[in-house]
Amino acid sequence: MSHANTLGQAAQTSAPLRLDALETPCLILDADRMERNIARLRDRLAPLGVALRPHLKTAKSVEVARHVMSSPQGPATVSTLKEAEFFAAAGVRDIIYAVGITPWKLAKVIELRRQGVDLAVVLDTVEQAEAVAAASREAGIAIPVLIEIDCDGHRSGVVPDDAARLVAIGRALIDGGELRGVLTHAGGSYGARGVQALQQAAEQERKSVVDAAAILRGAGLPCPVVSLGSTPTAHHALDLTGVTEVRAGVFVFFDLVMAGIGICQVEDIAISVLATVIGHQREKGWILVDAGWMAMSQDRGTAKQAVNQGYGVVCDIAGHAYPDLIMADANQEHGIITLRPGSQGTLPDLAIGDRLRILPNHACATGAQHRQYNVVHGESDVVTGQWQRFGGW
Closest approach, Cβ 391 to a second copy, in A, equals 7
**Between residue 213 and residue 272, which ones bind a second copy under the rule CB under 8 A?**
none
Q: Binding a second copy by CB under 8 A: which of 59, 65, 146, 288?
A: 288
Q: Judged by CB under 8 A, does residue 352 bind a second copy?
A: yes
Interface segment toward a second copy; rule CB under 8 A; list 202-210, 223-231, 281-289, 338-346: 281-289
Least distance to a second copy from the beta carbon of 143, Å?
16
Site string for a second copy, 141-170 (x = CB under 8 A): ---------x--x-xx--------------
Does the protein bind a second copy through residue 57 (CB under 8 A)?
yes
**Which amino acid is present at 9?**
Q
Q: With contact defined as beta carbons under 8 Å apart, do 258 and 231 qualify? A: yes
Q: Which residues of 42-54 are buried (b: 16+ CB within 10 A; e: fewer)?
A: eebbeeeebebbb
Binding of residue 370 to a second copy (CB under 8 A): yes
Instruction: Rule CB under 8 A: say whether 298 interacts with a second copy.
Output: yes
| Min separation Cβ 242 and a second copy, Å | 25
Of 40, 66, 171, 371, the one binding a second copy (CB under 8 A) is 371
Task: Confirm or reject binding of residue 192 to a second copy (CB under 8 A).
Answer: no
Which residue from 11, 163, 167, 294 is in contact with a second copy, where contact means CB under 8 A? 294
The whole-angstrom distance between residue 87's C-alpha and the CA centroid of its chain comes to 15
Show the binding pattern over residues 311-350: x = contacts a second copy (CB under 8 A), - = does not.
--------------------xxxx-x--------------
Site residues (CB under 8 A) for a second copy, limited to 84-103: 99-103
| Pick from 269, 273, 236, 372: nearest CA to 36 | 269
Residue closer to a second copy (CB basis): 5 or 199: 5
Give CA–CA dist 247/227, Å, rounded: 7
260 touches 307 (CB < 8 A):
yes
Does the footprint of a second copy cover residue 297 (CB under 8 A)? yes
Residues with Cβ within 8 Å of residue 338, at least 6 apart in sequence: 284, 285, 286, 287, 325, 326, 328, 347
Non-local (6+) Cβ contacts of 182 within 8 A are 146, 147, 148, 149, 209, 212, 213, 216, 223, 225, 226, 227
Closer to a second copy at the Cβ: 77 or 227?
77
Angle between helices 106-114 and 126-139 (to 10 degrees): 40
Q: Which stretch binds a second copy (CB under 8 A): 34-42, 84-92, 170-178, 283-291?
A: 283-291
- Report 100-139 residues binding a second copy (CB under 8 A): 100-104, 123-125, 127-128
Residue of the chain from 92, 149, 173, 364 that contacts a second copy (CB under 8 A): 364
Residues of this chain that interact with a second copy (CB under 8 A) are 23-26, 57, 79-80, 99-104, 123-125, 127-128, 150, 153, 155-156, 187, 276-281, 284, 288, 290, 293-295, 297-300, 331-334, 336, 351-353, 364-365, 368-371, 391-393
